[in-house]
Amino acid sequence: MQDAVTNLIKNYDVTGRYFDRNAVDSLKSYFESGTARIQAAAAINANAAALVKGAAIKLFEELPELIRPGGNAYTTRRYAACLRDMDYYLRYATYALVAGSMDVLDERVLQGLRETYNSLGVPIAPTVAGIQIMKDMVKEQVESAGISDTSFVDEPFDYMSKELSETDI
């Protein structure tokens, strides 16, 4: 598992280089955005349960067939599994935000996930819709915590959405 700094060190160490201008610039931007990233994580943590629940309710309002007989989130067990998955996405997104790297998502969340979903019939597009709803709610939460530019919050949610959606070649 890597963060922005260890990623950079690894890349430079491979070729035995000192940090150059590019490296210094990316280190600067990582540390300058550090406070905002930590504040965002704190705002998410304090509201995680409500964010997950609110996003799920909205998803099921938009796609009510998911929780009707024949839907993948129908039955208490599968409904709970769906909310638990949403909770995983939120928690790991905060790790990735703090790390300034999507590495943790590849390693802990996305590996083999599409195959698992396909074999269980968990529909990908509605899952991605759920992740996007959660992203928007998280951004509102982060904004109300006093952070005006919330664009950096998009990255982990968009990354998971993109990786999940990608079809096998």
Where does this chain bind ligand CYC (CB under 6 A)?
66, 72-73, 78, 81-82, 85-86, 88, 108-109, 113, 116, 120, 122-123, 126-127, 130
**Cα atoms in the Cβ-side hemisphere of radius 13 Å centred on 162:** 9
The answer to whether 161 and 128 are in contact (CB under 8 A) is yes
Task: Name the minimum Å distance from CB 39 to ligand CYC.
Answer: 24
Task: Name the minimum Å distance from CB 129 to ligand CYC.
Answer: 8
Task: Name the minimum Å distance from CB 140 to ligand CYC.
Answer: 19
Task: Name the minimum Å distance from CB 108 to ligand CYC.
Answer: 6
Of the pair 8, 122, the CB lying nearest ligand CYC is at 122
Q: 150 by DSSP, 3-state: which? A: coil
Q: How far apart are CA 45 and CA 47, in angstroms?
A: 5
CA 115 to chain centroid: 19
Q: Which residue is nearest to ligand CYC (CB)?
A: 82
Q: 59 by DSSP, 3-state: which? A: helix
